[in-house]
Amino acid sequence: MNAQELLAIADDELILGWRNSEWTGIAPFLEEDVAFSSIAQNEIGHARALYQLVAAELGTTADELAFDRKPEEYRCSQFVELRLVPDWAKTIARHCLYEDADERRIKELIESDDPEVAGLAAKIDREEAYHRMHAQMWFERLQDVPQFQEALEELRPMVVERGEHLPEFEQLWEEMTEVRRSVAGATW
């Protein structure tokens, strides 16, 4: 696994964590407010740990990778860039599709020859198990709802797409990096 591939996974986790956090305070009910906030926190934690691995190899820092690149340098997929608030059916559809694809990717990393990558992937997988159970619970609840089925069909082809960023990614990047750009070199 080379640094660029790990960076793509870290970017997916960071951006999806950011999108999930957009439900904090406005989810359809309190349990999901808590759940999506926790999932977002975990995903951003995974991104940080992956950035640390990549940063050690590239001679930079996790923060610089997360916040100091230009929008076009991020390698995340369009799938995680989509801003889905306030569409709950689509949000759950993305959650189910992402956790499924992410599981396969993490399991591959666990088999990596690099012990640091394999060790971190094993740790990430133990946390992701709870995201998958949460997605499974929602899948079972919504699987017969036409709105949810349509959302799955619409989003499924996007899971593997990479390349151009969506226009809404630029807005996310502006917001995500705003504080850091406003006070260059500050420590917190």
The residues of the shown chain that bind another protein, judged by CB under 8 A, are: 31, 34-35, 37-39, 41-46, 48-49, 52-53, 115-116, 119-120, 122-127, 129-130, 133-134, 136-137
Cα–Cα nearest to 94, from 107, 106, 83, 105:
83
* Smallest gap from residue 80 Cβ to another protein (A): 17
Cβ nearer to another protein, comparing 44 with 92: 44
Residues 6+ apart with CB under 8 A from 45: 127
Cβ nearer to another protein, comparing 52 with 149: 52
Cβ nearer to another protein, comparing 132 with 180: 132
* Smallest gap from residue 158 Cβ to another protein (A): 25
Q: How far, in Å, CA of 182 to CA of 155, rounded? A: 35
Q: How far, in Å, CA of 138 to CA of 62, rounded? A: 33
* Smallest gap from residue 70 Cβ to another protein (A): 26
Cβ nearer to another protein, comparing 134 with 165: 134
Q: How far, in Å, CA of 81 to CA of 122, rounded? A: 26
Cβ nearer to another protein, comparing 7 with 44: 44
* Smallest gap from residue 108 Cβ to another protein (A): 16
The runs of H, that is alpha helices, within 22-87 are 30-58, 62-67, 78-81
- Pair 15, 76: CB distance under 8 Å: yes
* Smallest gap from residue 136 Cβ to another protein (A): 5
